[in-house]
Every structure is written in C-alpha cells, then in structure tokens.
Amino acid sequence: MSEVLPVHRVLLSVADKHGLVAFGRALVQHGARLVSSGTTASVLREGGVEVTSVSEVTGFPEMLEGRVKTLHPRIHAGILADRRRAEHLAQLDEQGIEPFDLVVVNLYPFRETVAAGGSFDEVIEQIDIGGPALVRAAAKNHQSVGVVVSPDEYDRILGELDQAGGLSGETRLRLAREAFEHTASYDAAISGWFRDRQAEPEGEDLPERFTSSFVRLAGLRYGENPHQRGGLYAVEAGPGPLGGAEVLQGKEMSFNNWLDAEAARAIAALFAGGRPAAVIVKHHNPCGVAVADTLAQAYRRALEGDDVSAFGGIVAFNAEVDQAAAEAMAPVFTEVVVAPSFTDGALAAYGRKQNLRVLRAPLPAPGGLEVRPIDGGALVQDMDIIVATGSDMKVVTRTEPTPGQWSDLLFAWKVASRVKSNAIVLAKGEATVAVGAGQMNRATSVGIAVRHGGGRVRGSCLASDAFFPFRDGVDAAGAAGVAAIIQPGGSVRDEEVIAAAEEHGMAMVLTGRRHFRH
C-alpha cells in the first residue's frame, strides 16, 4: 500500500460544486485528463477547464432526465480494474477502455432536501444511484484508484500531488474508509426517512434492522468530565439536536448542558398546549416544575420547590418567553434557558447576562423510538408516552380525591414520568413541593422528598413512578401529611399498601401504568 499512484485520468461527478473549477484546473495543470457528466462538466467548461463528457466515453447519451449517466462498463471497468492483475489490464486493452486513477464524487443533496422540507417527490428525486455506485467501486479498488467524496479534501489531494507526484497507498486507504462511511451514512439517512414515513402497525415487532447515522456538528470542550472527549452530533437527514435548536447567545454549550437541556425540554413538552409551565432541571432531574397563569409566575413557583438546587440549573418553558419571565430569572444563576421562542424584550433582558446560554428549540412531539447504546449493541424501545387524563384511573380508597387534588395528582404523575427511578414527586397547587429521585429503594425516595419538603408536605399529593412494594413508603408519606397518592399498583402487597393509605386517611389512585426511567 505504500506505492504512489500517479493521477493521469480523473472522473468527476459532484453535486457540491464548491471549489470544483479551481480543483479541476489544478488537476489539468498536473497533467490529468478529466472526464465528467451533466452539470459538473458544464461548470468546468464555463470555468475554462477542458473536460471530456461521459457520453463521449460511453457512446450513449444521458438518459431518464440524468438518472442514467455513469452506469456503463466503460466507466465502471475503468474504475474496478485491479492493476496488479494482468488479466484485468488485458481485458481493458481488448475493449479499448482506459483506467481511472482518481474518482471525485459527492452525492445528491438528499439530506439537505429533507431538512428544507422538500415534497415527497422532491426528496425521492434526490436519492442518488450512480454516485454511490461510483464511490463504492473506487473505494473497493483503492489499491488502484483514489476516491474523494468531499471538497474539503481538494487541497490535501493537490498538496500530495505537488509533493509526491501522486497519491500514496496510505492516503488511498484513508480515502476509501471515508468513502464507505459517506455512502453508509447516506443510505442510513434514506432508510431513516422511509422509516419515518411509515408508522409501525400496532402490535408489530420493532424493525428487524435499525440504522441511523450521525454527523459531527462540533467538538465540545470535553464530555461529562474534563478527562473525557466530547462532541455534538446530529442524526443525518434530521432537523438537528433538540429539533434543530439554535443557540441565540451565551458561552459554548457543554456536554452536560445539552443533556440537561434535553431533559428540561422534554418535561416542558408534557404541558404543551396547556397553561404556562416552567421547568428547572439539575443533573438531568427536575428540581422544580410549576404551571401558572403566566410564565413568570410559573418560574417563581417552580423555584420555590428547590431554590438551592436551581443554582446553576437549566430552565425550560413550554411557550414563548416574555420579558417578565426573563426578568423573574435574573436573581438566580442559570446555565441555560430553552424555549420554543423568545420576545425581543426577553432577549434584551437575557442579554444583560452574556454567559447565559439562550437556546431556541421547538417542543418535542410525543412518540418515536428511543435508542440506548450498550456495550456491543443497543436497546431500542418506544418512547414513553404519558397518559394523565384520570378517566382510566381507579380510586381504590374510601376517600376520593378532591378536584384540586386530582389536578395535583395528574400534574405530579406527569413530572414523575421524567424523574430517574425510583421516582417520588410531591406537588401542591400544580407545583412541585419536593422530588426524590434515583434511589435504590422507593422508601428512601419518599424520605428524601418528605425531608426536603418540610412543612410544605402537609396537604400535598404524591406520585410514584412504580408500585410500592411495601407499605413503608406510604406510611412515611402519611406521617408527613400527604393527602393523596397516585401510583401504578400491581404489587403482590397492593392490599397492604392500600390499607396503609386508608389508615392515614389518604386517597389513593391506581393507574395500571408504570413509568420507570433508568
């Protein structure tokens, strides 16, 4: 692989014309003869670069509105001939076919068309057929051919031609790897787009194969900790991280900022279309959530739930942020604020804190698939969808929740679904009183929430993401003055747990639906 390959004949067929004319002119100056097709040939000729058209080589015109141009033996044989094999060279000579030394191809803008909201037919037309075939052929035969899939490589290629008179084996191997990565990600974007167009029938298994491709948008200063590398990636053919979020001001977003912004935004989305809601997240768990008549009021009420943990937290809103909400946040140091939109007054208020990261991102729609990588594979599941209507829920105690308690139970039930298990949420007046998160047993989560809530616990409502395996957690809640509990039920000790609620005079609602979040 160390042999240097001179570049005498080059095939160019590119959708991205950036730098094309200068690159083509430089190749000609190095003695290369160019073969090209369609608009690539036209752009080169308009730039004064001599080029032979593919149709002159093949003897056939471009067909089917350009869908068929390079799919011909005189092209592919010139790419796939292994120069180490005498019989390959003999067959080329017999058919009068010249080999190619370099193939420069990038693909139709499928992902860009999807991102721009192209119609179904427009997107279909941007599925490249001939391009991937050329790229894969050249990459397979990299010991005899170089392949370039990005204009970013042009200067490096020309530099190597200047210095070595050709492409080294090491360069061709690297280019081949990049080429296969390029076509693999392109195909993954296409299959993902088709998957998104076709809903899985209810009761059907998950897809036999789940393909997804990510492209790096930016390197981050580090990962979760300074000794870890970190980067921000986007699903190809998608809108981008957090629905195409835009950083409107502030310092560079960190790895942990992105994680916590995702968590806060997801909780805010639970209240989409409802009353104004504010969410404060710390270390991927909510420390304060509230709804109110205005976003400013919602923020202040969310802050009351845990004004200590809110320091250095992430705030999310479920609606356009106005100046009053932005000014309500001013006394508290906040890392990131994320919302669907911001008024000019809000941005002006945030502008007084230049280090505050202001992130504009749409609320996520419910549904879809969730992928969690594990060593050697991945776990895939449906996204958890929260049902919080009360119509399918069952009151199992003699004491019925009051209308106000129903509101608090359903509010707490939503929030608990986004808290790390074992999750306990105490709420009053549709605002969190305290949260117990991520403990190894449920009674400890109850204890944390009760201790943190202090005197405000009395009269609150409690949501548990999964059933109580013993009555100890219910007893602790009852002793602290909790008025009502909502939980899935399903424990072998449900009768014991319900009896505990009865003894404490609490209402208890069973949902029959668990919301673990590991």
Q: Given phi > 0 = left and psi -120 to 50 = alpha, else beta, which region is 19?
A: left
Asked whether the beta carbons of 256 and 305 are under 8 A apart, the reply is no
Catalytic residue list: 140, 283
Range with top average pLDDT, 44-48, 150-154, 408-412: 408-412
**Which pLDDT does position 90 carry in this prediction?**
77
CATH fold label, 394-510: Cytidine Deaminase; domain 2 (3.40.140)
Stretch among 133-137, 187-191, 395-399 having the lowest mean pLDDT: 187-191
* pLDDT tens digits along 66-82: 666 667 777 777 787 77
**Residue 135 token pair:** 């790229």
10, 27 in Cβ contact below 8 A? yes
Check: pTM over 0.75? Answer yes or no: yes
Q: The tokens of 497 are what? A: 């747990």
Q: Is the pLDDT of residue 61 over 90?
A: no
Listed as own residue / partner, the contacts of 384-391 with beta carbons closer than 8 Å and 24 or more positions apart are 384/417, 384/515, 384/517, 386/270, 386/413, 386/414, 386/417, 386/515, 387/511, 387/513, 388/270, 388/413, 388/414, 390/509
Task: With a cut of 90, say whether residue 114 has pLDDT above it.
Answer: no
Where in the chain are the domains?
9-193, 246-360, 394-510
> Rounded to whole angstroms, how far apart are CA atoms 280 and 267?
9
Looking at the structure, give the CATH architecture of the domain made up of residues 9-193. 3-Layer(aba) Sandwich (3.40)
As beta bridge partners, residue 103 has: 11, 147
Name the strands in the sheet holding 52-53, side by side, starting at the edge strand that comes first in the sequence: 52-53, 33-36, 9-14, 102-106, 146-148
Q: Are 324 and 302 in contact (CB under 8 A)?
A: no
Q: How confident is the model at residue 1 (pLDDT cuts 50, 70, 90)?
A: very low
User: What is the DSSP secondary structure assignment for residue 298, as one 8-state letter?
Assistant: H
- 187/111 Cα distance (integer angstroms): 10
Place of tokens 């119609």: 119
Same fold, 9-193 and 394-510: no
Amino acid residing at 49: V
* CATH code of the domain made up of 246-360: 3.40.140.20
- Which amino acid would we find at residue 114? V
User: At residue 278, does pLDDT exceed 60?
Assistant: yes
Instruction: Kindly tell me if the per-residue pLDDT of 477 is higher than 90.
Output: yes
Alpha-carbon separation of residue 393 from 54, 255, 390, 477 (angstroms): 69, 39, 5, 21
Of residues 38 and 287, the one with the higher pLDDT is 287
Residues 162 and 165: their CA atoms lie apart, in Å, by: 6
Find the Cα–Cα–Cα–Cα dihedral 245, 247, 251, 254, rounded to 10°: 10
CA distances to 17, 248, 332 from 335, in Å: 41, 14, 10
Residue 349 near residue 330, CB atoms below 8 Å: yes
